[in-house]
Amino acid sequence: MLKTYAYPKFPYRVSAEQRDGRVARHPVVVIGAGPIGLTAALEFGRRGISTVVLDDNDTVSIGSRAVCYAKRPLEIWNRLGCAAPMVAKGVSWKVGKVFFENDLRYGFDLLPEADHEMPAMINLQQYHLEEMIIAECGTLPNVDIRWKHKLISLRQEPDHVVLTVETPDGVFTLEADWVVACDGANSDTREMVGAAFTGQAFQDRFLIADVVMKADFPTERWFWFDPPFHRNQSTLLHKQADDVWRIDFQLGWDADPVEEKKPEKVIPRLKAMLGEDTEFELEWVSIYQFACRRIDRFRHGRVLFAGDAAHQVSPFGARGANTGVQDIDNLGWKLKLVVDGTAPETLIDSYDEERAFAADDNLRQSTRSTDFITPKSDMSRRFRNAVLELAADNPFARPLVNSGRLSTPTPYVASSLNTPDADAFAGRMAPGTNCADAPVTVGGEPSWLLHHLGEGFTVLTFGTAPAKTVACGPIEAKVLAIGGDLVDVEGLVAERYDGRPGTTYLIRPDQHVAARWRTFDAETIAGAVARACVLGGAAR
Amino acid sequence: MSLNLEPNIPDPDGFYQELIDSQRDMSDAEAQMMNCRLILILANHVGDRDVLREALKVAGGRID
């Protein structure tokens, strides 16, 4: 097994604090070095927060697992400096095909808007992705990833958390001002704080296999309902890097998870699908069942939850890791302002407000896909099949086909951090929305708009900038003129942001719109910064 | 627009006969599949979500 990839083994090192037997206090401790915990370490480190990561293992994800990464997380990793190798190694795709029984019924194109730096979607094995983030973390002196460190208990004090950790050298204690738990769907940290994790579990099992083969399937997402090679169930095929293909078989609830994992059971299923003559090797197999669940609150005192530890979705739509990365995008700048004492602790509550809102949206979408893919009654199966039968010849039925709605960001439309529009705007860039990318030039050199957003608060103004910065108490927002600092070479910034001379946007450090106006007014902008940071009157 | 529950079909006996005849040679399973297709086709024709929701309710469906 595992012919195309050698798993790295990261060295365990005893920490100075454990060796010396002293209790150290850290600003932030992240639990779990999966894609979300590692992204958190990189995000916090880049923003200047010293971060310790504890992971009970010493390698990357076993098997391809998450696989599909969408544009928004790629933009976040691009801001953090590690998207280029992911895009280079990953397989970019945009066409999906849906088969029912013997026939192609429906094809879709993600139709990514042109002129964005990042592709709509890439497929990449989770282990490659984790290795790339770990490599990037290695360039930051303030990120300390500690392998073979298992959290065994946790106690909350009013202004810090006490963590008991086990390593090959025994048990020791450390303290953290904040803990960010990214320890997955079966989060021990969640148990330790006594948080509820409720929702819907689905009575179904899936076999997922990584298969190495030279195949001439196109680089598309193929989804089969009730195919002749796997009757009454669904199958999904995805291409990944290194000629590794990911194949998911729905097995039904009665399947025996131990038996079904055996190669002598898996290989005949693959042969039925791929043909007797196709040469392939099985790299990795796993059986899982899924659930749509969410934690009661993303914040429990000084313990914050992100990724699958906070929300678990069914895999259709690639909403797990993609949403988790956006949790961290949302949390990083807030934690920085709070750790520095610039913003009050209540800013962290907006992390729960905004990301619970996004999680609920994801859970709704994911539950709907699951109900379509795995009908719960004979009658719902008939309706599902009727949709699929009609889709081939009747355009009206195609939007009803739901083989997974692929992950897109959830705008924080109702967030208390937004300053509601007072002026009229067309287009999508309402407060709470993540900024659309667009090509620009800077000093004649080609660049992308998103490269210039995200360090702190940024004011984008179309035309002449009346000031270089806008100050709001201790927070200073940099002003960028579209048409001065950044040249809108193709007119797409103006188009995507409904920009006219004077139009001004306040952009949060996570590249989301906080507020927008038709004129530049420093005092109004400062007010919107204060609102987005929950600053009281005194700071303004 | 609201759901029209007043008589709206010209030649009601003719329509009813056509409906029954259309399924005369089908097994129950085939007829059930046809009913599903028919519901989807008609629902798309109506389009209006409020009208569709009202129809689901009048038909005895559960609406949360």
- Chain B hits for A390, Cβ within 8 Å: 37, 40-41
**pLDDT (tens digit per residue) in A238-262:** 999 999 999 999 999 999 999 999 9
Instruction: Provide, rounded to the nearest whole percent, the portion of chain A with pLDDT above 70.
Output: 99
Tokens of B59: 């038909």
Q: Give the model's pLDDT for residue A215.
A: 81
CA distance A509 to A428: 19
ipTM of the complex: 0.97
Cβ contact, residue pair B41, A400, below 8 Å: no
A390, A398, A401, A402: which to substitute to probe chain B, counting the most B Cβ within 10 Å?
Answer: A390
Smallest CA–CA separation between B54 and chain A, in Å? 20
Q: Give the model's pLDDT for residue A289.
A: 86
Considering only alpha carbons, which residue of chain B is nearest residue A380? B36
- Chain B hits for A383, Cβ within 8 Å: 36, 39-40
Cβ contact, residue pair A383, B44, below 8 Å: no
**Rounded to 5 degrees, what are φ and ψ at A460?**
-105, 125
Candidate from A14-18, A110-114, A167-171 with smallest mean pLDDT: A110-114
CA distance readout (Å), A36 to A51, A241, A419, A487? 14, 21, 29, 35
Q: Give the model's pLDDT for residue A539.
A: 46
Q: Longest Cα pair distance anywhere in chain B, in angstroms?
A: 37
Tokens of A47: 């923003």
Smallest CA–CA separation between B51 and chain A, in Å? 18
Q: Give the model's pLDDT for residue A1.
A: 47
CA distance readout (Å), A405 to A87, A122, A326, A360, A465? 22, 15, 17, 15, 41
Q: Longest Cα pair distance anywhere in chain A, in angstroms?
A: 74
Q: Give the model's pLDDT for residue B51.
A: 97
Q: Classify burial at A281, counting beta carbons within 10 Å of its beta carbon; exposed 0-12, middle 13-18, buried 19 or more.
A: middle
Considering only alpha carbons, which residue of chain A is nearest residue B38? A386
Cβ contact, residue pair B40, A390, below 8 Å: yes
CA distance readout (Å), A140 to A78, A136, A272, B23? 16, 7, 49, 71
Chain B contact for A9, CB < 8 A?
no
DSSP letter at A537? G
Q: Give the residue from A325, A433, A331, A317 showing the smallest Cα distance to A82.
A: A325
- Chain B hits for A385, Cβ within 8 Å: 33, 36
Cβ contact, residue pair A386, B44, below 8 Å: no
Q: Give the model's pLDDT for residue A290.
A: 83
Q: Classify burial at A390, counting beta carbons within 10 Å of its beta carbon; exposed 0-12, middle 13-18, buried 19 or more.
A: buried
Q: Give the residue from A314, A356, A296, A313 showing the smallest Cα distance to A331.
A: A356
CA distance A227 to A399: 21
Q: How far is CA A187 from the centre of its chain?
A: 17
- Chain A hits for B36, Cβ within 8 Å: 382-383, 385-386
**pLDDT (tens digit per residue) in A64-110:** 899 999 999 999 999 999 999 999 999 999 899 999 999 999 888 88
Which helix (H) or strand (E) element contains residue A191? helix A188-193
Place of tokens 């001002």: A177
- Chain A hits for B37, Cβ within 8 Å: 386, 389-390
**Rounded to 5 degrees, what are φ and ψ at A473?**
55, -130
| Average pLDDT score over chain A | 95
B37, B39, B45, B49: which to substitute to probe chain A, counting the most A Cβ within 10 Å?
Answer: B37
CB pairs < 8 Å spanning A and B: 25
B28, B44, B45, B56: which to substitute to probe chain A, counting the most A Cβ within 10 Å?
Answer: B44
Residue A316 or residue A147, greater confidence? A147
Q: Give the model's pLDDT for residue A109.
A: 87
CA distance readout (Å), B51 to A181, A398, B29, B64? 46, 22, 28, 15
Window 369-428 of A, Cβ < 8 Å to B: 379, 382-383, 385-387, 389-390, 394, 396-397, 400
Q: Give the residue from A166, A175, A125 showing the smallest Cα distance to A146.
A: A166
Which helix (H) or strand (E) element contains residue A37? helix A35-46
Q: Give the model's pLDDT for residue A537.
A: 55
Window 4-63 of B, Cβ < 8 Å to A: 32-33, 36-37, 39-41, 44
Considering only alpha carbons, which residue of chain A is nearest residue B36? A383
pLDDT above 50: residue A538: no
Cβ contact, residue pair A386, B36, below 8 Å: yes
User: Residue-wise over A426-457: b if at least 16 C-beta within 10 A, else e?
Assistant: eeebebbbbbbbbbbeeeeeebbbbebbbebb
Cβ contact, residue pair A385, B33, below 8 Å: yes
Smallest CA–CA separation between A380 and chain B, in Å? 9
Tokens of A366: 């994911």
**pLDDT (tens digit per residue) in A393-415:** 999 999 999 999 888 999 999 99
Smallest CA–CA separation between A466 and chain B, in Å? 49
At position A316, the amino acid (one-letter code) is F
Mean pLDDT for A137-165 is 98
pLDDT above 50: residue A48: yes
DSSP letter at A397? G
CA distance readout (Å), A378 to A353, A383, A446, B33, B55? 39, 9, 57, 11, 22
**pLDDT (tens digit per residue) in A445-466:** 999 999 999 999 999 999 999 9
Q: Give the model's pLDDT for residue A103.
A: 94
Q: Give the model's pLDDT for residue A2.
A: 55
Cβ contact, residue pair A387, B44, below 8 Å: no
A372, A382, A402: which to substitute to probe chain B, counting the most B Cβ within 10 Å?
Answer: A382
CA distance A411 to A427: 13
User: Residue-wise over A333-347: b if at least 16 C-beta within 10 A, else e?
Assistant: bbbbbbbeeebeeeb
- CA angle A199–A205–A208, rounded 5-degree value: 115
**pLDDT (tens digit per residue) in A408-442:** 999 999 999 999 999 999 999 999 999 999 999 99
CA distance A71 to A86: 12
Neighbours of A385 (CB within 10 A): 18
Confidence of residue A540 (pLDDT cuts 50, 70, 90): very low
pLDDT above 80: residue A383: yes
**Rounded to 5 degrees, what are φ and ψ at A442?**
-130, 115
CA distance A202 to A416: 34
Cβ contact, residue pair A389, B37, below 8 Å: yes
Q: Give the residue from A300, A318, A301, A317 showing the smallest Cα distance to A309.
A: A300
Mean pLDDT for B7-21 is 98
- Chain A hits for B44, Cβ within 8 Å: 396-397
**pLDDT (tens digit per residue) in A183-210:** 999 999 999 999 999 998 888 899 999 9
Q: Give the model's pLDDT for residue A407.
A: 87
Q: Give the model's pLDDT for residue A513.
A: 98
Which helix (H) or strand (E) element contains residue A247? strand A244-250
Judge if pTM exceeds 0.90.
Answer: yes
Q: Give the model's pLDDT for residue A216.
A: 81
Candidate from A334-343, A397-406, A495-504 with smallest mean pLDDT: A397-406
Mean pLDDT for A139-154 is 98
- CA angle A383–A204–A93, rounded 5-degree value: 75
Mean pLDDT for A292-297 is 96
CA distance A418 to A9: 45
